[in-house]
Amino acid sequence: MYDDILFPTDGSEAAESAFEHAINQAEAFDSTLHVLFVANTNYQDLGATGSRSVDDLRESGRAVVEEIESAASDAAVVTETHVEEGDPHKRILEYADETDMIVMGTRGRSGIDRYLLGSVTEKVVRTADVPVFTVRDRD
């Protein structure tokens, strides 16, 4: 039913909360788990005027997906890892075209924070063509 499951992660606690569910789904359906980190190049403080470069973000992403790949391997789940650049929700949706389900975390923002900051997860849920399994952060 679900041969390929996408697990987008930013290395946050919300993503960590969703990881166990992603592994469980991959095990239950004998699926390949596609781990995706999107280096958000939309930040205004990125580059010469900011504290982080695209290279820094890519390196952070590689570390995150390698850690997840190792943990998935311990659970005998086949994984593919990818580090991409761009607008996170757009890149997730592009990658989701090749998968059957998305499992991702949400921080559970509300009120003004949600309005001002938006939510990658919310945008994905509203526009994805595949089922999206969301997991709220433990905190």
Mean pLDDT score, 37-49: 69
End-to-end CA distance of the chain: 32
Residue-wise burial string across 78-115, b where 16 or more C-beta atoms lie within 10 A, e elsewhere: ebebebbbeebbbbbbebbeebbbbbbbbbebeeeeee
Residue 45 has pLDDT above 60, yes or no: no
Cβ atoms of 18 and 135 within 8 Å: the answer is yes
List the chain domain ranges: 4-136
Q: Tell me: domain 4-136, CATH 1.10.357.10, correct?
A: no
Per-residue pLDDT tens for 72-82? 999 999 999 99
Comparing CA positions, the residue from 83, 16, 94, 15 lying closest to residue 55 is 83
pTM of the model: 0.86
Q: What whole-number percentage of the chain has pLDDT above 70?
A: 83
pLDDT attached to residue 95: 96
HEC profile for 119-135? CHHHHHHHHCCCCEEEE
